[in-house]
Structure 1
Amino acid sequence: MSHAVLACEQMAHADRWTIENAQIPGTTLMENAGAAVARAVLERFGHARRALVLCGPGNNGGDGYVAARILQESGMSVTAYAFGTPRGGTDAAIARSRYSGAVEPPEEFEPSRDDVVVDAIFGAGLTRDLPERVLVALHKARSATCPVVAVDLPSGVNGDSGADLGGALTADVTVTFFRKKPGHLLFPGRQACGEVVVADIGVRAEALAAKPPVIFENVPQLWGPVLPKPDATWHKYSRGHAAVFSGGKHATGAARLAALAAQRTGAGAVTILGQPDALDIHAAHLTSIMLRPCAPDDSYDRLGELKGCRACVLGPGFGDFTTARRLALSILQEADRTGLRLVLDADGITAFASESKALFDVAHAVVGQALVLTPHEGEFGRLFPDLAEDRSLSKVDKAVAAAARANAVVLYKGPDTVVAAPDGRAAINTNATSSLATAGSGDVLSGVIGGLVAQGLPLWEAACAAAWLHGEAGGAAGPLAVAEDIVARIPVAFGLLNQGRDTRAPWP
């Protein structure tokens, strides 16, 4: 699975397994890694006046010494700078001994704009602050504005969390090995990495068999096989029926966006439920979406009357916290009998800020899962304050812990949205653009999830697919998009996906 993402400990295990079971020496893996780094330098920055290679004392530095040797053999002017001495007998020490070029102390490092810097000081497993002499060197490289190639991860970026431990140098290219790590995909690490190149250095995929990965980059291979395929025998209800609850008459837009998104995603029927004065406003804007009146005290009964309804979106613009709590708990309490699944967003999440245990207890009583939560950072903090405040946890850790606590699929929104399931699976979304930073964008996302769940997708796969389609639609809508533009582009993203075409190609 090329889209699997490995924590630092898992990557170290894969290295060890390959050395011990595939009879591939660690020095060979290091040679291959250094060669991949050198190749990236030559392909992109071979015109540079000098290659200045910053080498730490560990394996990251060993990769740097190999790269320095190969670059020198290719004809480049190369100088290495030693930030510590490799321990005797290690693979890094062997790599250092094979490099015959100049090795200078860090204090001599003086880069210019015409140079290329290779950052091979520290790898992905760093958890402590950068030493002062490393900070000084990185600052010099930053001031020189020369291109930078990072080995594995920019020094100072934590591989498991993407956290900047202070002073990390933003790379133009980061060359990593075998599989990406969470730090390549989570901010701020993602921004510091620049272009990420994953090089095959000989690590064996069989190393993952004993403990298969549970973190993935969110790509169509994860959920494409369960997407509905068009069938000539379908009718509107067999395609899926989704319901969206509306806010009051002065807050109808959010529900309307969610309903339109559910419809554009493929739900054959979509109904908005709300008080009559709100439905009058919806009626002036909608044609093919059905409207059903309800009052706060009979909302669940009216929902139960909808034919073939399999998914309900509650929260966008809803406003009434008391009714939201009653509705959500009723839906979940009856989920095993009705098969109805709940997407809880926005006001639906905030309604449980001080009563989250009631929500989680009811969700845990369901056989399987019936709940999708879609919090942004502030809403996540309202439902899971202890997790939100725990600085030792990565965004993936927080989302996975929240999913287990709530027995729900948790889509933790942001530029690096994480979709987590109670069984520990997590997907990191990477195709979001600034177009999604607009009012109503989150309402569109909740509607896409509801539309996919209504068509029978499992909850985690539906949330992953929704995050990806939402990102593609945002990119298609352009940099000045509003939420309505994103809705309009959903079928374009979906259609290109189903046609097996390159969804990153220019949009029509």
Structure 2
Amino acid sequence: MSNELLTPAEMGEADRKAIEAGPFDGIKLMRNAGACVAREVLRRYAAAERVHVLCGPGNNGGDGYVVARLLAESGVPVSLWSSGEPRPGSDAALAAGECPLRPMPLAGFLPTTGSIIVDALYGAGLSRAIEGDTVRAIELAITFGLPVVAIDLPSGISGANGRVMGAAFRAELTITFARMKPGHLLMPGREYCGEMVLSDIGISDAVIDELQVCTFRNCPQLWLGEFPVPGVDTHKYRRGHVGVFSGGPASTGAGRLSALAAARSGAGAVTVLSPGNALAVNAMHLTSIMLRKADDGTEVEAFIGDRRPSAFVLGPGFGVGDKVREFALAVLAVRAGVEGLVLDADGITSFREEPSALFTAAAAPDAPALVLTPHDGEFARLFPDLAADEGLSKLERARQAAARSHGVVVAKGADTVIAAPDGRAAINANGTPWLATAGSGDVLAGLIAGLLAQGMPAFGAACAAVWIHAEAGARFGPGLIAEDLPLALAPVLRELTYSTES
């Protein structure tokens, strides 16, 4: 599955460029799309007593007319319903003219038990809330418990941001074309789409390349070429050194989780930087991970000078206050050797009153990369205006936050968005509810730092860590707690490493 995500506007431009380039004109692309949908319906719903095809007046409806014609030609009982006539001379009008079935007004739609619905009312480009007969059709689908096959996107879901526009079909299967849209992956759209099928209708990769897309589905294809694989002559000092800041005596667990994840990621060495009063607690729980006292900025600077660490994690279990700010700014002031700083949890909250100090430090020439990993609440503390702007999608908020902070932003959640200051962004698609457990984010922060330490660029490291973290959680499944995660990372990392070598 191709990993670019196209906005509705970009998809429209791709259609236009594909028609200009040939060999398919608009109606042929529409016929191809309809054929893909009809094929899936015949394969999956052969036992359906009737197929109700609901067509809108636009190109999505045109796809529906093709589906209705092909299903009828295959001997399937089809009822065709229309919310409005296509524009005369349009491709949708041509498709409607080729369909031998006469559409009935959507206002009279009444399904029967044992039938299915093909939703061809509105596609990804929906820009206003649906109402009237379409809302009634959605309610009937729910009442009768009918499977819905959506063309492009379930009607009522925005292709740009995944939001429900008034009401929406909840599809069992969604079939889209050429490339997925952000609305397929952003919540709640992801829940409404059901199973996703991406079909080739004749829009070439060359056409997509011309668009210079900067939004992606997060998957190994996006970052595997940057994934660190040790050479046969590698030793531990070439695999990077991660420093993880620990909290006080009663809050050391979060830092150790981050440290374990950094070690599992392949970092050659990991050191927990502990307050003096927590050294004994940490020492009782650490074996392969090193331990060093760090009570102030001078001791942190001494550690950097002595051990030349490649990346840091700051925030998990650390506590909020001046010391976080002091340590973060000290790391970002290093101009050689440190690849990056992962700022999570308390590290983010500590800059709530003075975010400009953090952003200015990250923007300095040759500063280490900054990676921020906020959940929704932490995001709102650091970027209150963006969080409060209901007109922005999660994708847009993350992008603007990355540009403002001069760092990579990992906006966590079921639809985690990873955004870079240069405008690139990726939406994660393999999230799992099993990761909704205390300490899971600490493991993610350590995993990002471990990949950074091994030389992976910040955006790629963040994307890879988010995907690996989710994959490990999904494979483990029910019963997962954060302590399980570092070891659960191992089989996923092993598969990625061997696929890179092959």
**Shorter-chain TM-score range:** over 0.9
> For 1:24-72, what per-residue CA distance to the aligned partner results, in whole angstroms no more than 9, with x for missing partners?
2100000001111111111111210000011000000000011000000
Residue 272 of structure 1 corresponds to which residue in structure 2?
272
Q: Summarize the Cα distance change of 1:271–1:369 in structure 2 as closer, same or farther, 3 Å threshold.
A: closer
Structure 2 residue 93 is the aligned partner of structure 1 residue 85: no
Residue correspondence of structure 1 range 484-499 to structure 2 within 5 A: 484-499=483-498
8 Å Cα contact 1:369-1:408 kept in structure 2: no
Q: Which runs of 5+ in 2 are unaligned?
A: none
- Give the drift of 1:277: 2.4
Question: Equivalent residues in 2 for 1:128-143 (5 A)?
Answer: 128-143=128-143
SS at match of 1:326: helix
Cα distance in 1 for partners of 2:299, 2:469 equals 29
- Paired residues for 1:211-222 under 5 Å: 211-222=211-222
* Structure 1 contact 294–302 (Cα < 8 Å) conserved: no
Question: Contact conserved, 1:61 with 1:120, CA < 8 A, in 2?
Answer: yes
Q: Distance in 2 between matches of 1:330 and 1:239?
A: 23
In structure 2, the partner of 1:9 is: 9
* Cα distance in 2 for residues equivalent to 1:499 and 1:113: 50
Q: Which residue number corresponds to residue 467 of structure 1?
A: 466
Structure 2 match to 1:506: none
Q: Is the 1:22–1:204 Cα contact (8 Å) retained in structure 2?
A: no
Q: Percent identity?
A: 51
Task: Determine if the alignment matches structure 1 residue 482 to structure 2 residue 478.
Answer: no
Q: How big is the shift at 1:454?
A: 0.8
| Alignment of structure 1 residues 236-255 onto 2, 5 Å | 236-255=236-255
Letter in 1 for 2:294: C
Q: Structure 2 matches for 1:15-94, cutoff 5 A?
A: 15-94=15-94
The letter of the residue matching 2:174 is T
Please state how far the C-alpha of 1:146 moved relative to its aligned partner.
1.2
Aligned to 2:398: 399
Provide the C-alpha distance between the structure 2 equivalents of 1:52 and 1:129, rounded to a whole number of angstroms. Answer: 23
Q: Deviations over 1:69-110 (max 9, x none)?
A: 000001000011110111111011111111111421113211
TM-score (norm 2): 0.97
* Paired AA for residue 153 in structure 1: L
SS at match of 2:103: strand
Segments ≥4 residues shifted beyond 4 Å: none
- Does 1:323 find its partner at 2:323? yes
CA distance in 2, matches of 1:338, 1:231: 21
Cα drift, residue 327 of structure 1: 1.1
Look up the match of 2:350: 351
Q: Please give the per-residue CA displacement for 1:330-367, whole angstroms capped at 9, x wherever unaligned.
A: 21122x23434111000000001111111111111133
Give the structure 1 partner of residue 451 of structure 2: 452
Q: Which runs of 5+ in 1 are unaligned?
A: 502-508
Q: Deviation per CA, 1:129-183: give whole Å up to 9, x if none.
A: 1022110111101111111100100001000101111211110100100000000
Whole-angstrom CA distance in 2 between matches of 1:133 and 1:321: 56
2:321 & 2:464 partners in 1: Cα distance? Answer: 29
Do the aligned partners of 2:297 and 2:326 also contact (CA within 8 Å) in 1? Answer: no
Alpha-carbon distance in 2 for matches of 1:286, 1:477? 24
Determine if the alignment matches structure 1 residue 234 to structure 2 residue 234.
yes
Task: Tell me the amino acid that sits aligned with residue 158 of structure 1.
Answer: S
Counterpart-to-counterpart distance in 2, 1:310 and 1:480 = 34
Letter in 2 for 1:155: S
User: Counterpart of 2:481 in structure 1: which amino acid?
Assistant: V
Change (3 A) 1:453 1:306: farther
CA distance in 2, matches of 1:494, 1:124: 35
Calculate the aligned-residue CA RMSD, in Å. Answer: 1.4
| Cross-structure match for 1:100 | 100
Of 229-238 and 319-328, more deviation after overlay is shown by: 229-238
1:164 aligns to what? 164
Q: Distance in 1 between matches of 2:372 and 2:365?
A: 15
Paired residues, number: 500
- For 2:416 and 2:431, how far apart are their aligned partners in 1? 8
